[in-house]
């Protein structure tokens, strides 16, 4: 087979009769649409609950609904642009995983298992790991190095350094709040 991305279609056309082929292709399309819908709704909810709601003074439901719909559109456009930039699904999945691991792995693991991790360190670590991974991906993997192998160590180092630099400040704030 010349194009391995078409293996699904090749197999079903060689194995099944035409009416079953139509059902199989329809099922595949339904799965893709359902998955995309779920991802768009989940990301929209994250945008609304984590970015918009905390900054709203008056929590008007109609405004939240408008922001939610707008965020679905923006996330959809971002996903479309990303899929056009990286047309192979596996490469897109690997890129998303690289961004996720580089941005979230260190803050989550250290936040759960190390009491010395600070809030500023977690936030700094997330953003720097993500930015490094995305920049490295966009630049085309210079020197053949995958973005995770650069973003994750930088995220870990950032978390450790910022935690040690901000540890005393957070302890002082927690003492003030307790009193």
pLDDT tens-digit map of 41-92? 888 888 888 888 888 888 788 888 898 999 999 988 988 887 787 777 667 7
What region, left, alpha or beta, does residue 144 occupy, with left being phi > 0 and alpha being psi -120 to 50 degrees? left
H or E stretch including 158? Answer: helix 148-178
- Cα separation, 174 vs 171, in Å, equals 5
Contact 166, 120 (CB under 8 A): yes
- Mean pLDDT, consecutive 10-residue segments, the chain of 179 residues? 77 92 92 86 86 83 88 89 75 80 92 91 93 89 90 95 84 47
- What is the residue extent of each domain of the chain? 1-85, 88-167
């Amino acid at each position: 087979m010349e194009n391995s991305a078409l293996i699904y279609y090749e197999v079903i056309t060689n194995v099944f009769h035409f009416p079953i082929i139509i059902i199989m292709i329809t099922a595949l399309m339904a799965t893709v649409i359902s998955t995309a819908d779920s991802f768009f709704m989940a990301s929209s909810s994250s945008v609304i609950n984590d970015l918009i709601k905390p900054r709203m003074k008056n929590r008007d439901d109609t405004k939240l609904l408008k922001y939610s719909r707008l965020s679905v559109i923006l996330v959809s456009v971002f996903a479309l642009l990303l899929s056009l930039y990286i047309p192979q699904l596996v490469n897109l999945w690997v890129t998303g995983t690289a961004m996720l691991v580089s941005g979230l792995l260190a803050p989550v693991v250290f936040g759960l298992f190390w009491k010395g991790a600070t809030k500023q360190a977690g936030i700094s670590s997330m953003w720097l790991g993500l930015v490094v991974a995305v920049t490295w991906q966009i630049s085309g993997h210079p020197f053949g190095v995958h973005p995770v192998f650069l973003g994750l160590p930088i995220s870990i180092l950032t978390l450790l350094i910022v935690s040690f630099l901000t540890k005393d400040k957070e302890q002082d704030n927690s003492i003030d709040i307790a009193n």
